[in-house]
Amino acid sequence: MTRKNAKDFLPDERQRYCNALLTLKQTIEPGHTLSKYDEFVAIHYGVTRRLRNGIPIGDGAHFVPGFLAWHREYLNRFEKAIRTVDSTLSLPYWNWSSGDDTDTTEIFTDDFMGPPGDPNNGNKITSGYFVENNWEVHSELDGGNNGSVLVRDSTLLSSSKLSQVSGYGELAMDAVNGDNDFDSFLPGLEGPHGSIHMWIGGHMTSMTSPNDPIFFLHHANIDRLWSKWQELHPGPENYNPNNDGSYGSRLNDRMWPWDGSEDTTTTRTGTATGISLQGLLPTFSDYDIVTPRHVLDNNLTIPIPVRQFLANTLQIRNQTTGEILSRYKIIGSVPDKFAANNGILNQILTTIGYEDRIGRTESDNDFVDVILEISHTDNHVNSARGVQLGGDDIEVFVNGTSTGTLAKTQEIPLP
């Protein structure tokens, strides 16, 4: 599904989107402590302070090269959660960078994202979907000590405040259209991004900012602007070219918490009692691995259960020696956005990606083709591999040379 400008959401879409948010806010899975929505707040809070193999490694999603990649995956997961409630919805974006005031004034309304704060009631939201009785900020996730009722600046829609938004939008668009290298583009976009957080005020000003539902529309626009820049500067070579930053920022680093149960944890604690935040988080599969490389292209997807099944099914075998090859290097692909370093065979599937990316329009029986160019590390002979998905089945097929093939080629029902 293609993401839409939030301003263009029809009344029915606005209602269904907000009801989906309320459902996520009120749903606690068996064995979980937080609601589905609050788990997303906790993840965003947790990534800001991490420990890996006993060593502090800081923030993995802010003021580091991984800012855009981490938030893209985070948004994709949130969008998927929304679709578990209403499969017809996509995550809208707040186009604050357009220079058009109506992109802002028409979404801060009672029938959608809610109004500015009420100056006569402590700047609390007092009308719309996200009022006190519907939307309670969890006491362990109130990083700014703003209280349990959602708070925003009361002057958001004044002419002076709208003028500020236009200025932030100009800066962001200057970065998209004028910065040719990632090291310049990133701060050029992250700066206005932060200004928008502060412009809204209240709960949006701390690292638990997803408490305010406008967070996701704001970041959907950031992701859209990155996509526009990527159209001008495609390919992994244009992401973090110096391959620097804290762990999780480099092209092939695993991003917490989607790191396959790697020995990385958050050291954040709850804001009310000091309870370990790690214990409040959902658990993730060992096969749930995402690196910045995985999210550079949003149009190609294979869901996690399929990758997990394939990882336990497929092998690469040298037809000459009969040896099963356990090491590989992907040197290219179609499209050429996918690649990986040496690794065990089942990691090949993590180079393909995850489901429900922005920008992909799909029918009920849509097919996705993936062709990977593989260089075996022991003989460096190229061979082609392909995976085709569609509807209720997946088909694995081989297009290789005589030096290697997949051990099993068959139609496999989805797990």
Query: What secondary structure does DSSP assign to 42-91, as a single string?
Result: HHHHHTTSEEETTEEEE-SSSSSTTHHHHHHHHHHHHHHHHHHH-TT---
Domain ranges of the chain: 6-295, 302-412
* 235 DSSP 8-state letter: S
- Weakest-pLDDT range from 127-136, 195-204, 246-255: 246-255
β-bridge partners, 289: 259
The token duo for 119 is 């100056």
Write down the mean pLDDT value for the chain. 77
Instruction: Decide if domain 6-295 falls under CATH 1.10.600.10.
Output: no
Cα distance between residue 38 and residue 34, in whole Å: 6
Cα distance between residue 81 and residue 21, in whole Å: 9
Average pLDDT over residues 367-393: 31
Tell me the range of 280-289, 301-310, 397-406 where mean pLDDT is highest: 280-289
Q: Is 335 exposed, middle or buried (0-12, 13-18, 19+ CB in 10 A)?
A: middle
Residue 145, pLDDT > 60, answer yes
Distances (CA, A) of 238 to 111, 185, 195, 242, 339: 40, 11, 25, 10, 14
- Residue type (1 letter), 296: L
Cα distance between residue 353 and residue 343, in whole Å: 16
- Tell me the pLDDT band of 166, cut-offs 50, 70 and 90: very high
Average pLDDT over residues 201-223: 98
CB neighbours of 360 closer than 8 A, spacing ≥ 6?
1, 2, 298, 299, 300, 301
- Residue type (1 letter), 261: S
Residue 42, pLDDT > 60, answer yes
- Tell me the pLDDT band of 298, cut-offs 50, 70 and 90: low
Cα distance between residue 376 and residue 329, in whole Å: 6
Condensed to tens digits (0 to 9), the pLDDT of residues 258-294 reads 988 778 999 999 999 999 999 999 988 776 788 898 8
Widest distance between CA atoms in the chain: 79
- Percentage of the chain modeled with pLDDT above 90: 61
302, 372 in Cβ contact below 8 A?
A: no
